[in-house]
């Protein structure tokens, strides 16, 4: 138990992957948690994992909500404040990825879907959370992607909209710095979560294929990202804002030799 005792962390996309692991990391520090997702069963599993770290049952609030529904997003902040009375850290993690090229038939549909979930809902939720974060002098961590900094293969819409996440991070950081609210992002490479299975790589080959993408020679794990999120939200990062931190085994620094490799 540490510096997050008595603080409240709101995590979207907490029912799976990076968000679920982030919840467990903050639970181990004693934070009150507001956990958001659409799948109640998987949200409950995350809540149980948090309690297994020693967090009291009344320190975990699960909120079933669809980030693409404005009324749901409003309810997320209202429920958190009604239950805990404060908000210290917002982790904007819920998101999706889709494969496309500019010339794909699906590009406009993909672009609109990803804009709504990966960008618009984050702007809305952050806007609603800001008064509470100003009161607590809290912080925001956005989960972006390597694709915000580099052009990932077959990810036209996702690349553009993750660049928007990075610029959103910088805009918020500058906007909120006078109020002592810090805003940063993490930019993961390929992390072993259910999201990766949507990219057409056979499940048994995912680790091997993704290991080759990263100079450090392995796939990323949710804990790699969760520990960076916790760091950026902590006092250890008190002079860091507007940062987009690569968690990608060095992939952002690497120049691929063969076109068509991702
Ligand atoms: N895995 C990677 O390689 C990787 C790399 C770079 C960036 N990222 C980013 O990391 C974030 C987390 O991804 P992940 O890899 O952990 O994927 P994941 O395991 O598939 O988790 C995605 C989470 O987002 C939630 N979500 C999706 N649509 C939602 C909606 N409309 N409303 C509310 N919640 C919604 C899901 O919850 P429900 O299904 O319960 O709604 C789930 O908890 C994403 O933003 C992704 O872009 C991932």
Residue nearest to atom 23 of ligand 1 (CA): 13
- pLDDT, mean of residues 116-124: 99
User: Residue 85: its pLDDT value, please?
Assistant: 98
Within-domain flag for 262: no
Within-domain flag for 245: yes
CA of 15 to the centre of ligand 1 (A): 9
Within-domain flag for 258: no
User: Residue 198: its pLDDT value, please?
Assistant: 76
pLDDT band at 255 (very low <50, low <70, confident <90, very high): confident
Within-domain flag for 3: no
Q: Higher pLDDT residue, 62 or 2? A: 62
Summarised one tens digit per residue, pLDDT across range 78-104 is 999 999 999 999 999 999 999 999 999
User: Residue 218: its pLDDT value, please?
Assistant: 97
Q: What percent of the chain has pLDDT over 70?
A: 97
CA of 93 to the centre of ligand 1 (A): 7
Within-domain flag for 259: no
CA of 178 to the centre of ligand 1 (A): 31
Which atom of ligand 1 lies closest to the CA of 39? 40
Which atom of ligand 1 lies closest to the CA of 97? 47
CATH assignment at residue 92:
3.40.50.720
Pocket of ligand 1 (CB under 6 A): 12-13, 15-19, 37-39, 42, 66-68, 93-97, 117, 143, 145, 188, 190-191, 193-196
Which atom of ligand 1 lies closest to the CA of 43? 40
Residue nearest to atom 25 of ligand 1 (CA): 13
User: Residue 261: its pLDDT value, please?
Assistant: 57
pLDDT band at 258 (very low <50, low <70, confident <90, very high): low
Full residue range of the structural domain in which residue 129 is found: 8-253
SS3 (DSSP) at 22 = helix
CA of 260 to the centre of ligand 1 (A): 25
Summarised one tens digit per residue, pLDDT across range 29-61 is 999 999 999 999 999 999 999 999 999 999 999
Within-domain flag for 2: no
What total number of domains does the chain contain?
1
Would the pLDDT of 256 be above 70? no
Decide if 43 contacts 17 (C-beta within 8 A).
no
The residues annotated with a catalytic role in the active site are 158
Decide if 25 contacts 4 (C-beta within 8 A).
no
220-258 residues labelled b (16+ CB within 10 A) or e (exposed): bebebbbbbbbbbbbeebeeebbbbbbbbbebbeeeeee
- From 95, 121, 222, the mutation candidate for ligand 1 (largest count of ligand atoms within 8 A of CB) is 95
Would the pLDDT of 260 be above 80? no
Summarised one tens digit per residue, pLDDT across range 158-173 is 999 999 999 999 999 9
Cα–Cα dist 240/114, whole Å = 28
Within-domain flag for 18: yes
Distances (CA, A) of 231 to 117, 142, 228: 25, 13, 5
Q: Higher pLDDT residue, 202 or 159? A: 159
């Amino acid at each position: 138990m540490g510096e997050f005792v008595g603080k409240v962390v709101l995590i979207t996309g907490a029912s799976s992957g990076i968000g679920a692991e982030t919840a467990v990391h903050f639970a181990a520090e004693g934070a009150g948690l507001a956990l958001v997702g659409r799948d109640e069963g998987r949200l409950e599993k995350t809540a149980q994992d948090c309690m297994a770290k020693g967090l009291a049952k009344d320190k975990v609030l699960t909120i079933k909500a669809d980030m693409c529904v404005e009324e749901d997003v409003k309810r997320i902040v209202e429920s958190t404040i009604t239950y805990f009375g404060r908000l210290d850290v917002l982790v904007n993690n819920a998101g999706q990825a889709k494969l496309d090229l500019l010339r794909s038939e699906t590009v406009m549909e993909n672009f609109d879907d990803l804009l709504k979930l990966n960008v618009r809902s984050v702007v809305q939720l952050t806007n609603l959370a800001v008064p509470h974060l100003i009161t607590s002098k809290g912080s925001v961590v956005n989960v972006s992607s390597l694709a915000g900094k580099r052009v990932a293969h077959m990810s036209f819409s996702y690349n553009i909209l993750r660049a928007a996440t990075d610029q959103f991070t910088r805009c918020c950081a500058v906007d909120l710095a006078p109020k002592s609210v810090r805003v940063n992002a993490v930019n993961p490479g390929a992390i072993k979560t259910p999201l990766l299975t949507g990219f057409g790589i056979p499940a048994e080959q995912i680790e091997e294929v993704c290991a080759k993408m990263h100079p450090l020679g392995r796939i990323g794990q949710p804990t790699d990202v969760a520990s960076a999120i916790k760091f950026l939200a902590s006092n250890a990062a008190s002079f860091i804002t507007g940062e987009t931190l690569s968690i990608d085994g060095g992939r952002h620094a690497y120049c691929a030799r063969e076109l068509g490799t991702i």
